[in-house]
């Protein structure tokens, strides 16, 4: 767990007034041939009064987003203008006194016909992936799809996303158990790939749920325009990572943190010192990965190249202006992001109801 100092409302407001854009770069010496990308040009508060908004997923038509609150287990519908209404809760959920609870969600790409929404949450028997139906008004019909993912106070992973192949991808933390990340038969310390009914996806590299292994606490996943999967991961004490995920690859933990030369391990495409990042959600807009940082209290932009695996110079926005940044999600049909804070999570030093959702314009 990483803690940040308590930030007063006045300090946050003062810092926000000073923020106009890029203030920082990371990792000297990285390739400079990544594709040109836009940049954040405006940020606006669209919704306030939240308590640990953890996951965001849009309906395919862009008319509404669904947002989870980690500790209350509530799910809200939020309009593009920021109006919100609770549509239900996810049953069988519990917290861990740390990072567990109601975490990520993903709206089915075929939502218009099946009304399915998927959640990852902590329960009495561990972390689960579950499915519910949402008819545009009410959330109901809970069904557990995958159980037996170990939980702990920290390192629960929790992000969900649909890939262009139609399968559901899920990040799982190591649950502070150093034996599971390298075990191909364990569900922990992995990126999982499963069907909409909760079965292992066809073509998974180990003939089970596991898509990739060797992860410590993966917190963000997003697919680029080429269908490649990018992942943000919290390190332990030296390096946080941005990884390009490929089927069957081993991303090193606990043998490696950051880059290493151990045979069979896949190095990250970018690393940061842990004070600069502690990453959570990621999204991809206009040729760049945007990575929300918790302890680092900033939004990182990392240009990516469509023709190769190089990434460009990472730039930091809104450093210290809004506190701990948790979810970052592309707005359908627009070069915009939704960006949420979790300053009420026990590490941010702020009271319940202090979290916000922002709209960030990229141009």
Question: How does pLDDT run across 113-134, given as a tens digit for each residue?
Answer: 999 999 999 999 999 999 999 9
pLDDT in tens, 39-83: 999 999 999 999 999 999 999 999 999 999 999 999 999 999 999
Q: In what order do the strands lie in the sheet with 239-245?
A: 218-223, 229-233, 239-245, 270-273
Q: CB-hemisphere CA count at 13 Å for 132?
A: 23
86: nearest Cα among 121, 33, 134: 134
- Distance CA(210)–CA(232), nearest Å, equals 17
Q: Using DSSP, how many helices (H) and how many strands (E) does the chain show?
A: 2, 25
Q: What is the average pLDDT across 169-176?
A: 98
Verify whether residue 155 is a known catalytic residue: yes
- Which of the residues 115, 121, 155, 215 is marked catalytic? 155
pLDDT in tens, 344-361: 999 999 999 999 999 999
**The predicted structure's pLDDT at residue 246:** 98
- Distance CA(51)–CA(49), nearest Å, equals 7
Q: What is the average pLDDT across 324-332?
A: 98
Q: What is the average pLDDT across 325-333?
A: 98
| Domains of the chain, residue spans | 9-362
Q: What is the average pLDDT across 187-205?
A: 98
* Confidence category of residue 35, pLDDT binned at 50, 70, 90: low
β-bridge pairing 239-245 and 126-134: unpaired
Distances (CA, A) of 171 to 9, 59, 206, 245, 338: 33, 21, 17, 12, 21
* Confidence category of residue 4, pLDDT binned at 50, 70, 90: very low
CATH superfamily label, 9-362: TolB, C-terminal domain (2.120.10.30)
Q: Which residue has the tokens 């948790």?
A: 326
- Distance CA(166)–CA(201), nearest Å, equals 10
- Distance CA(79)–CA(102), nearest Å, equals 21
Distances (CA, A) of 243 to 96, 179, 199, 231: 27, 21, 25, 5
Q: Which residue has the tokens 């502070």?
A: 176
Whether the pLDDT of residue 10 is over 90: the answer is: no
User: What is this structure's pTM?
Assistant: 0.92
Distance of alpha carbon 203 from its chain centroid, rounded? 25
pLDDT in tens, 227-270: 999 999 999 999 999 999 999 999 999 999 999 999 999 999 99
**The predicted structure's pLDDT at residue 37:** 80
Token reading at 175: 């649950």
Burial of 205 (0-12, 13-18, 19+ CB in 10 A): middle
**The predicted structure's pLDDT at residue 323:** 98
Q: In what order do the strands lie in the sheet with 314-317?
A: 22-26, 314-317, 299-303, 288-293, 279-285
**The predicted structure's pLDDT at residue 31:** 41
């Amino acid at each position: 767990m990483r803690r940040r100092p308590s930030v007063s409302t006045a300090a946050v407001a003062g810092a926000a007034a000073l923020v106009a854009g890029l203030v920082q770069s990371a990792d000297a010496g990285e390739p400079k041939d990544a594709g040109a990308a836009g940049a954040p040009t405006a940020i606006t508060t669209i919704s306030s009064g939240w308590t640990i908004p953890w996951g965001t997923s849009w309906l395919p038509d862009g008319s509404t987003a669904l947002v989870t609150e980690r500790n209350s287990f509530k799910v809200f519908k939020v309009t593009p203008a920021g109006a919100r209404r609770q549509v239900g809760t996810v049953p069988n959920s519990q917290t861990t006194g740390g990072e567990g609870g109601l975490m990520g969600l993903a709206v089915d790409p075929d939502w218009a016909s099946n009304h399915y929404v998927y959640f990852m949450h902590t329960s009495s028997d561990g972390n689960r992936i579950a499915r519910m139906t949402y008819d545009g008004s009410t959330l109901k019909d809970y069904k557990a799809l995958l159980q037996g993912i170990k939980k702990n106070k920290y390192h629960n992973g929790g992000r969900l996303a649909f890939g262009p192949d139609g399968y559901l991808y899920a990040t799982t933390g190591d649950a502070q158990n150093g034996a599971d990340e390298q075990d191909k038969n364990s569900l922990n310390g992995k990126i999982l790939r499963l069907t909409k009914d909760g079965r292992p996806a066809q073509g998974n590299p180990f003939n089970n749920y596991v898509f990739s292994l060797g992860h410590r606490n993966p917190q963000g996943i997003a697919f680029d325009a080429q269908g490649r999967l990018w992942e943000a991961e919290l390190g332990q004490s030296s390096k946080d990572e941005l990884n390009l995920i490929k089927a069957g690859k081993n991303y090193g933990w606990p043998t490696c943190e950051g880059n290493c030369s151990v045979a069979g391990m896949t190095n990250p495409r970018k690393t940061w010192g842990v004070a600069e990042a502690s990453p959570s959600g990621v999204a991809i807009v206009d040729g760049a990965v945007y990575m929300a940082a918790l302890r680092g209290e900033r939004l990182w932009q990392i240009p990516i190249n469509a023709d190769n695996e190089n990434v460009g110079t990472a730039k930091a926005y809104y450093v210290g202006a809004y506190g701990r940044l948790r979810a970052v999600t592309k707005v359908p049909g627009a070069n915009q992001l939704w960006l949420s804070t979790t300053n009420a999570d026990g590490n941010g030093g702020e009271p319940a109801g202090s979290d916000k959702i922002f709209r960030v314009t990229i141009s």
